[in-house]
């Protein structure tokens, strides 16, 4: 278990499923003790409705999340070197994060998290897949950063 970093960037392929879940869960579990953002290799999708639904079950609000890519982050003035830790949730985002941070003294961790998109036949099966992804992220978070902040 490591210390809680001052700032974390979660990243995945589209910033529509896994990384917004991770951003929302981190904010819910650890409050304002850590600055948290998320990004994708691409931002060609909107936030996934199943992600919104399964996070709402835990009191995590994702409705207002707007997807963004690494390139858009840079255009909007968010410098990767300002983060203490980048956590990649997909192989493509890990490659991109390592490529972008090769000149910074910045830790990049890879958490192999299930991509639930395309899994399950009906609505309930799909929700179960998304819950599994959400719970994987939460479990990794608790193992990495410890118990939630008091009152969370």
- Domain ranges (residues) in the chain: 7-141
Whole-number Cα distances in Å, 135 to 33, 61, 96: 22, 16, 25
CB atoms under 10 Å from CB of 35, counted, come to 15
Write down the residue that tokens 């941070």 correspond to: 101
pLDDT band at 59 (very low <50, low <70, confident <90, very high): very high
78 pLDDT above the threshold of 80: no
**CA–CA separation, 143 vs 103, rounded Å?**
29
pLDDT per position as a tens digit, 119-133: 778 888 899 999 999
Q: Measure Cα distances from 63 to 19, 83, 111 in Å.
A: 14, 25, 24
Alpha-carbon Rg for the chain, nearest whole angstrom, is 15
55 has a pLDDT exceeding 90: yes
Indicate the pTM of the whole model: 0.90
The helix/strand/coil state of 87 is strand
Mean pLDDT score, 112-117: 91
Residue 85 pLDDT class (50, 70, 90 cuts): very high
> What would the pLDDT profile of 6-47 be if each residue is shown by its tens digit?
999 999 998 889 999 999 999 999 988 899 999 989 877 688
Task: Assess whether pLDDT exceeds 70 at residue 151.
Answer: no
Say whether pLDDT at 141 is over 90. Answer: yes
Confidence of residue 77 (pLDDT cuts 50, 70, 90): low
Mean pLDDT of the chain: 88
7-141 CATH pick, 3.40.710.10, 3.40.50.2300, 2.60.40.10, 3.30.70.260:
3.40.50.2300
pLDDT-based confidence at residue 100 (cuts at 50, 70, 90): confident
Which string of DSSP letters, residue by residue, matches 37-62? EEEES---SPPPHHHHHHHHTTT---
CB 77 within 8 A of CB 1: no
DSSP state, residue 83: -
């Amino acid at each position: 278990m490591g210390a809680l970093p001052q700032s974390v960037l979660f990243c995945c392929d589209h910033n529509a499923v896994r990384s917004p879940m991770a951003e929302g869960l981190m904010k819910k579990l650890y409050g304002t003790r850590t600055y948290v953002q998320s990004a994708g290799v691409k931002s060609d999708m909107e936030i996934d409705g199943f992600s919104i639904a399964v996070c709402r079950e835990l009191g995590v609000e994702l409705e207002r999340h707007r997807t963004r890519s690494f390139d858009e982050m840079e255009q909007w003035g968010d410098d990767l070197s300002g983060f203490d830790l980048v956590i990649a949730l997909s192989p493509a985002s890990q490659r991109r994060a390592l490529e972008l941070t090769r000149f910074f003294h910045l830790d990049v961790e890879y958490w192999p998290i299930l991509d639930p998109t395309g899994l399950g036949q009906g609505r309930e099966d799909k929700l179960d897949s998304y819950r599994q992804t959400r719970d994987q992220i939460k479990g990794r978070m608790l193992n990495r950063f410890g118990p939630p902040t008091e009152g969370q």
